[in-house]
Structures are given as structure tokens and as C-alpha cells.
Amino acid sequence: MTAHTAAAARARTGGPKTDGPKILEHVMGWTLVVVVAMLVVRLGLL
């Protein structure tokens, strides 16, 4: 088995090339920031 076939036989783990749209990732990140901020304010931790 050569190095090329060994690399091709490995399972994909979801690297940068298989990510979805960048805008969706950006929106979800900011949504998480807003939710955490609301939780912190709601619990009186700020």
C-alpha cells in the first residue's frame, strides 16, 4: 500500500475544505455571543 492510497483510505474528519458557508458560521457565532451575554446579564453576573 503506497502513501497515496493509505491517505485516500482514511476517513474524512471534516477539515476546512468540508465546512459549510462562512456566513452561516459567522451568524451562528454572533448568535452564541448574544445568548451568552443575555444569560450573564439575566443572572446578574455583570
Q: Tens digits of per-residue pLDDT, 13-26?
A: 666 666 668 888 89
Is the separation of the CB atoms in 25 and 19 below 8 Å? yes
Q: Tens digits of per-residue pLDDT, 31-42?
A: 999 999 999 999
Is the separation of the CB atoms in 9 and 3 below 8 Å? no
DSSP annotation of 12 reads P
The maximal CA–CA distance of the chain, rounded, in angstroms, is 60
- Predicted TM-score (pTM) of this structure: 0.54
Distance between CA atoms of 19 and 21, rounded to whole angstroms?
A: 7
